[in-house]
Structure 1
Amino acid sequence: FGPARRHPLAPLIHSLLFVCREGVEREREMLRGVLPLLLHRSRNGSREAALLQHPSLLHHHGRLLPPGALASPSMALPRFLALSTSGSTAAPIGDVGDDPSTSPYPETAIPSSLVEYLIQSCGFSQDEASKVCKRLKLRKASRNAESVLSFFRGKGVDEAQFRKAVSCQPRLLYADVEKTLAPKFRAFEEMGLSVSGVLKVLERNSTFLSHSLEKKMIPNISLLREECGISGQRLLRLLWRNPRVISRSTRTLTEIIGRVRELGIRQGSMAFEMGLHMTDALSRRTLDEKLAHFKSLGWTEEETFSAIRRTPLILNFSVRRIKDSIDFFVGGIGSSTSFLAANPILLAFSIEKRVRPRYNVSRFLQLKHLREGDWTLLTLLTMPEREFLNKVILKYTDTFPELNEVYGAGSLEQIQPNGFGGYVQNT
């Protein structure tokens, strides 16, 4: 924090950041917004002393406050923040809470690693470091961290994996090993997920630690396995894509599964998993509106369902995006709506970043009578970027330096469509 690093608040802030050594840049940005508010009109240090007594100031419902949050009228401020600095006095840092009988927190052992960090990195004395740690709102995490770390070590989780998990879900340090972590990991492992797989679900799902194992997680996973045939790596893939699926009520999840079946997506296919992911984000009304929009673009009901079965991802596209894509393919290069319904993956590609540049390259190859000019536009559009660059762009840039400019152009000037895949030069 620059010059503020030497301020009495700096050690406290550094101790907060210590809990999660990786991924702290976001927290630093938040604290940069909070720190000036705390230092404002604090000539006699009253707010510093108050913060040492009430470190929860930097938190709201267990999370670090975002910049400007203390100034927000929607957030009720603690009474001590409203005190005038001119009429208050502050005890020296070393004297805050010296009397154990007045301390709001019981005497508990502070992990030596955290104390040593404050001493070595922040210049605290042994006594000051211990007192600050006792007053941290994260004191529970400090005491619990070792048991949590021991649990994961016992599971074969290395330090890097543990840090990543804590970076994604800091509340992990509060978790009760016996009541929360052990039962949930055991249940997921019994269902076929590896320890690393459960960790991935935990990292993506903020409700993993709070939702009931018996009431939600186990019934929902059993439903996915028994009714949909999704288990093992497929289950892990679904939970990674859509971690909310195990947090829904079983009734809601049953309704979502029903919607996917109504779309005619074959159960057991990857498309079914993607369909679950897509329909989970849509209400029944929104889904019906999207189906009606596809039909309004000229697709028959069978073409609409066929397109969704092939590429469920199109359910996630906005109406505007779909319209722009169809306008380009149908109105711009002469394709048909039936062709798009049979190849809906084309709607997933960005017109400006992928479709238009590759279309221009396709026309260039044809005009130069090159072998690759005989490839269909569908082949060129679905080709992975690295493969497209190697087989087309890099192959001919020495002979045709202008190809790079063609690939980067966004104009269809002097290109006349004659059906999808058949083009002629303007005369």
Structure 2
Amino acid sequence: MALHALLRRNLTSFFSENLLSPTISNGSLSLHIACFSTAIETKPSTPPSVYQFLTNKHQFPPEVASRAAPILSRSHRPENFDSVLSFFKQTGFTNSHLEKMLISRPRLLAADLEKIIKPKIQVFQDFGFPSDDIAAIISKEPRILQVRLETKLVPALSWLKDLLGSIDKVARALRKSGWLIFGDLENTTLPNVQTLMSRGMSRDQLVRLINYMPRVMLYKPVTLSRCLENMDKTEVVWSSKLYVYVVGIVCSMPGGAWERKLQAFREILEFSQDDIVRVLRQNPTVFSVSEDKMRLVKKLLLGTGKYDASSIAKYPTVLMHSIERRCKPRFEILGILESRGFIDKWLPLRVGMIFSPAPAVNLVDWFHQLPLIEHDLKPR
């Protein structure tokens, strides 16, 4: 026993002194590492208590736990945030909601439950939000639980309720963008509301804008004013039905982005100014497509040998369709119909995009079941 104790003490002293010594040689260090390589390779990168707590007790997927554990284990022990997870579950948060929160804001589990989390949840409940809406809103934007109660959360919810008219509508807007909570109500949001309404936007249109493109309300007032000036330059008389969507699309491209978008329509798609004005009046959301999508659609249409760039100007909605799921299958059907003599020429692009080419159908039967376009089909 004495010999065993002596050997253990000497070995401990040896490794402690040599591994920490600044003069240790590279060869010796390599030898020590080689001797203990198995231990180094199998040692978990984070304390196992945090990872095991998340996976074993609360059944989080390993990939979620492995991302959150290194952050949570820096200054907290698992038992400190067990009560936070339990509270969220009691409030109506599912594991899916909690996983989203752990990935985007893991430190929230270390927040003070009584001072930080519970009061914010209580505010949502006092306003009348259902538990499933609270869970959906918070899990999408967990930072809401870290804003100031009196100066941010309560005023924002009160303003949204007054404008939108019901908690259901407020919940719908916040499910889409929790950023509405973070806006500077006095210096940004309300001045933007006044600017839009001074240009003729009604209350109902403002509600639709918040649901369609909520981040417009968070722009700096000077940025919003410049976006609206860009709208004026197009010399389009906006219909009340589409005005909201035009504002949303144009304001989603501040700075010089809107001018670059118009230039892309001219250069890539060969749109004339008349084409641009007409499409803005009829289908402004088309201008949300990327330049890459423009090039892909144009290449596909020209590749058929049946359509040219002017076809896009006549039916710009084609830019919004899926190339793989909508355009290509219909073009393949049109090619088969032409090769079998059912049509002399391909249908106009607008017409060709409306039918649904069900797979494995008899083409003759399918042909006779198209009353909407039958007059355009002439079997040879």
- Band the TM-score falls in, shorter-chain normalisation: 0.5 to 0.7
The offset of 1:13, in angstroms, is: 4.9
Give structure 1 stretches of 5+ with no counterpart: 39-46, 57-92, 97-109, 118-134, 404-420
Distance 1:307 1:144 in 2: 49
Matching of residues 388-407 of structure 1 within 5 Å: 388=356, 392-393=357-358, 397=360, 399=362
Question: Structure 1's 189 and 343: CA in aligned 2 closer, same or farther, altered over 3 A?
Answer: same
Matching of residues 191-210 of structure 1 within 5 Å: 191-210=163-182
Paired position in structure 2 for 1:340: 312
The offset of 1:175, in angstroms, is: 4.2
Distance 2:260 2:151 in 1: 45
Distance 1:382 1:323 in 2: 22
Contact 2:85 2:109 in 1 (8 A): no
Paired position in structure 2 for 1:314: 286
Distance 2:118 2:221 in 1: 35
Paired position in structure 1 for 2:332: 360
Paired position in structure 1 for 2:351: 379
Question: Structure 1's 190 and 323: CA in aligned 2 closer, same or farther, altered over 3 A?
Answer: same
Higher relative contact order structure (alpha carbons within 8 Å, sequence separation ≥ 6): 1
The code of the aligned residue for 1:164 comes to A
Paired position in structure 2 for 1:244: 215
RMSD, aligned α-carbons: 4.5
Question: Structure 1's 348 and 363: CA in aligned 2 closer, same or farther, altered over 3 A?
Answer: same
Q: Which residue, out of 295, 311, 328, partners 2:266?
A: 295
Contact 1:256 1:280 in 2 (8 A): yes
The code of the aligned residue for 1:55 comes to H
Paired position in structure 2 for 1:351: 323
The offset of 1:381, in angstroms, is: 0.8
Contact 1:329 1:336 in 2 (8 A): yes
Q: Percent same amino acid at aligned positions? A: 17
Question: Structure 1's 159 and 31: CA in aligned 2 closer, same or farther, altered over 3 A?
Answer: same
Contact 1:216 1:250 in 2 (8 A): yes
Question: In structure 1, the residue corresponding to 2:179 is in which secondary structure?
Answer: coil
Question: Structure 1's 264 and 309: CA in aligned 2 closer, same or farther, altered over 3 A?
Answer: farther
Is 2:200 aligned against 1:235?
A: no
Question: In structure 2, the residue corresponding to 1:356 is in which secondary structure?
Answer: helix
Contact 1:266 1:272 in 2 (8 A): no
The offset of 1:216, in angstroms, is: 1.0
Question: In structure 1, the residue corresponding to 2:253 is in which secondary structure?
Answer: coil
Distance 2:87 2:254 in 1: 48
Q: Which residue, out of 186, 193, 197, partners 1:221?
A: 193
Contact 1:193 1:236 in 2 (8 A): no
Distance 1:195 1:115 in 2: 21
Matching of residues 128-143 of structure 1 within 5 Å: 138-143=110-115
The offset of 1:195, in angstroms, is: 1.5
Is 2:233 aligned against 1:262?
A: yes
Question: In structure 2, the residue corresponding to 1:282 is in which secondary structure?
Answer: coil
Question: Structure 1's 355 and 136: CA in aligned 2 closer, same or farther, altered over 3 A?
Answer: closer
Paired position in structure 1 for 2:96: none
Contact 2:84 2:109 in 1 (8 A): no
Question: Structure 1's 145 and 201: CA in aligned 2 closer, same or farther, altered over 3 A?
Answer: same
Distance 1:314 1:255 in 2: 21
Paired position in structure 1 for 2:243: 272
Question: In structure 1, the residue corresponding to 2:225 is in which secondary structure?
Answer: helix
Q: How many residues align?
A: 308
The code of the aligned residue for 1:393 comes to A
Q: Which residue, out of 172, 176, 184, partners 2:144?
A: 172
Q: Which residue, out of 326, 342, 346, partners 2:298?
A: 326
The code of the aligned residue for 1:251 comes to V
Question: Structure 1's 205 and 338: CA in aligned 2 closer, same or farther, altered over 3 A?
Answer: same
The offset of 1:32, in angstroms, is: 0.7
Question: Structure 1's 192 and 243: CA in aligned 2 closer, same or farther, altered over 3 A?
Answer: closer
Give structure 2 stretches of 5+ with no counterpart: 1-43, 91-106, 367-375
Question: In structure 2, the residue corresponding to 1:208 is in which secondary structure?
Answer: helix
The offset of 1:282, in angstroms, is: 2.4
Contact 2:51 2:65 in 1 (8 A): no
The code of the aligned residue for 2:49 comes to P
The offset of 1:137, in angstroms, is: 6.7
Paired position in structure 1 for 2:63: 29
Q: Deviations over 1:22-77 (max 9, x none)?
A: xx76xx63531354x68xxxxxxxx96xx4xx239xxxxxxxxxxxxxxxxxxxxx
Q: Which residue, out of 106, 129, 154, partners 1:157?
A: 129
Contact 1:349 1:355 in 2 (8 A): yes
TM-score, scaled to structure 1:
0.58
Paired position in structure 2 for 1:413: none
The code of the aligned residue for 1:272 comes to Y
Distance 2:379 2:160 in 1: 59
Contact 2:188 2:219 in 1 (8 A): yes
TM-score, scaled to structure 2:
0.64
Bigger CA radius of gyration: 2
